[in-house]
């Protein structure tokens, strides 16, 4: 599961890193993005790459109300093509890159008792990356809501002692462009859905300050 992450770069750097053509919303660095919040995703439309803000927690187009999205923050990559909540987005190529430069996982104590220890997980060189995501459009009384989910996979050797799942990480430009290209069938991209190389990542304990979604700032990522 991926239930919290960070995107701590400025808006101008974001455009340069992801080579996006436009970004329609204001952005400030975020260190503790939580479910149901709006966050930047990279999407392609008419051959143009753009960064938009969608809500985290996918709301299927057939949902009666958007609260279902609170339970749809992650999708298992192994079953995403079959699950009713995600299969339409998968089939029709509604894929997005969820922009990030770190995420958090909570490790249970070896004894099985006591509080969990939060860990920050980043690429070894701390460069920005992206999670493989799916997005959907839902229409209600207040208009259109666009939302996304983050795909997860089996953990690599680095993450396995911390958690039994990890987000699908796409770390380079070639993977980003293939993932967001709606003309590429989703089934042709399954090779991207495995665990990221552990030797190219780092994980370290951080303060329980990050436990509260309202807490923000560099302290969330500071090693303890």
* Active site positions, annotated: 2, 105
Task: Determine the Cα–Cα distance for residues 187 and 171; give it in Å rounded to an integer.
Answer: 20
Q: What is the DSSP string of 98-154?
A: EEESEEEEEEPPTTS-SPPEEEEEEETT---EEEEEEEEEEEETTEEEEEEEEEEE-
Task: Determine the Cα–Cα distance for residues 22 and 43; give it in Å rounded to an integer.
Answer: 11
The strand pairing partners of 145, in sequence order, are 138
The strand pairing partners of 67, in sequence order, are none
Hey, how many other C-beta atoms are within 10 angstroms of the C-beta on 4?
23
């Amino acid at each position: 599961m991926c239930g919290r992450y960070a995107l701590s770069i400025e808006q101008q750097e974001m455009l340069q890193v992801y080579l996006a053509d436009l970004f329609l919303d204001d952005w400030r660095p975020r260190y503790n993005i939580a479910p149901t919040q709006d966050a930047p995703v990279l999407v392609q439309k008419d051959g143009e790459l753009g960064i938009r803000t969608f809500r985290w927690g996918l709301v299927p187009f057939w949902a009666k109300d958007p609260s279902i999205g609170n339970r749809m923050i992650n999708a298992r990559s192994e079953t995403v093509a079959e699950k009713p909540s995600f299969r339409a987005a998968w089939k029709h190529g509604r894929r997005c890159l969820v922009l990030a430069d770190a995420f958090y996982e909570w490790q249970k104590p070896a004894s099985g008792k006591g509080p969990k220890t939060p860990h920050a997980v980043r690429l070894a060189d701390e460069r920005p990356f992206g999670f493989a995501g799916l997005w959907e459009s839902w229409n209600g009384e207040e208009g259109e809501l666009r939302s996304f989910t983050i795909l997860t996979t089996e953990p690599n050797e680095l993450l396995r002692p911390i958690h039994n799942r990890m987000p699908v990480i796409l770390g380079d430009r070639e993977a980003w462009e293939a993932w967001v290209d709606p003309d590429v069938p989703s089934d042709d991209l399954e090779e991207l859905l495995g665990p990221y190389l552990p030797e190219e990542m780092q994980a370290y304990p951080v303060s329980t300050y990050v436990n509260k979604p309202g807490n923000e700032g560099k302290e969330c990522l500071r090693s303890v």
